[in-house]
Amino acid sequence: MTLPPAAPIIYLTLVGTGEPLLRMEKRLFCAAGGLGIRLEVEIRKDVEALGNSLQQSLAVLHDGKLIFNGLHRIEEVESWLKNLK
């Protein structure tokens, strides 16, 4: 799906490794695409470098704030993204 250049852009940081990271990344992009939102996602696999308690978890950050900790359902991601529009 190609989004128009005027579509809003949301910048996120996805922190984690392995299959959970890949699954959450896919959910983020699917939810955003369905809502007509473009995402710019920075992936951080060096969890320890963030210096917080996310060392064993998958996390999604927006503007440096924790939004999701762990793997969330696509409906939850869509709901959160709708509130940002």
Would you state the pLDDT for residue 51? 59
- Report the pLDDT value the prediction gives residue 32, as an integer from 0 to 100: 93
Please give the Cα distance from 58 to 28 (Å, whole number). 13
Those residues of the chain that have pLDDT short of 50 are none
In three-state secondary structure terms, 45 is coil
Residue 6's pLDDT is what?
74
| Total length of the chain | 85
